[in-house]
Amino acid sequence: MTKRFEFDRLRTEGTRVAYGSVWVRYLANPDKNTIQVGYALGLDVGAAVVRNKIRRRLRHVMHTLDQTNCEELRSGDYLIGLHRGTRNVRYTDLEDSVRKCLVILNENLCRTYE
């Protein structure tokens, strides 16, 4: 995701869940059968070096989930961010939080379709 309108659409229309230090917004995209991921890491997370390090970790988490065919990872658009003040977060904590967010997201979506 690179276009501003894609991020804005996710913010306004997407389903938001949070767990631990991570929050995830999801929006199904029926036109595409792919996964697009954007990252929202503001200045409150830390300096550019810290934000880029966290972004690389989150990108690796999502790549790993995609490669392992994680059943909670649906096709669509994702926006992933951290809560304010979260700076020193370990990779394993990020991975666990993202996985839990995806589980919660799927539970919410399944309830919506019932």
Half-sphere exposure in the Cβ direction for 68 (13 Å, CA): 10
| Beta carbons within 10 angstroms of residue 18's beta carbon | 16
pLDDT at 63 over 80: yes
Q: Examine residue 111 and state whether it is found in any structural domain, yes or no.
A: no
pTM given for the model: 0.86
Q: What is the pLDDT of residue 112?
A: 61
- Position 73 in a domain: yes
- pLDDT of residue 39 exceeding 70, the answer is yes
The 3-class SS string of 63-95 reads HHHHHCCCCCCCCEEEEEEECCCCCCCCHHHHH
Whether 112 is in a domain gets the answer no
Domain range spanning residue 88? Answer: 4-104
Q: What is the CATH number of the domain that holds 18?
A: 3.30.230.10
The answer to whether 45 and 89 are in contact (CB under 8 A) is no
Task: Give the chain's domain count.
Answer: 1
pLDDT in tens, 65-94: 888 887 788 889 999 999 877 778 889 999
DSSP code, position 21 = T
- Report if residue 109 sits inside a domain: no
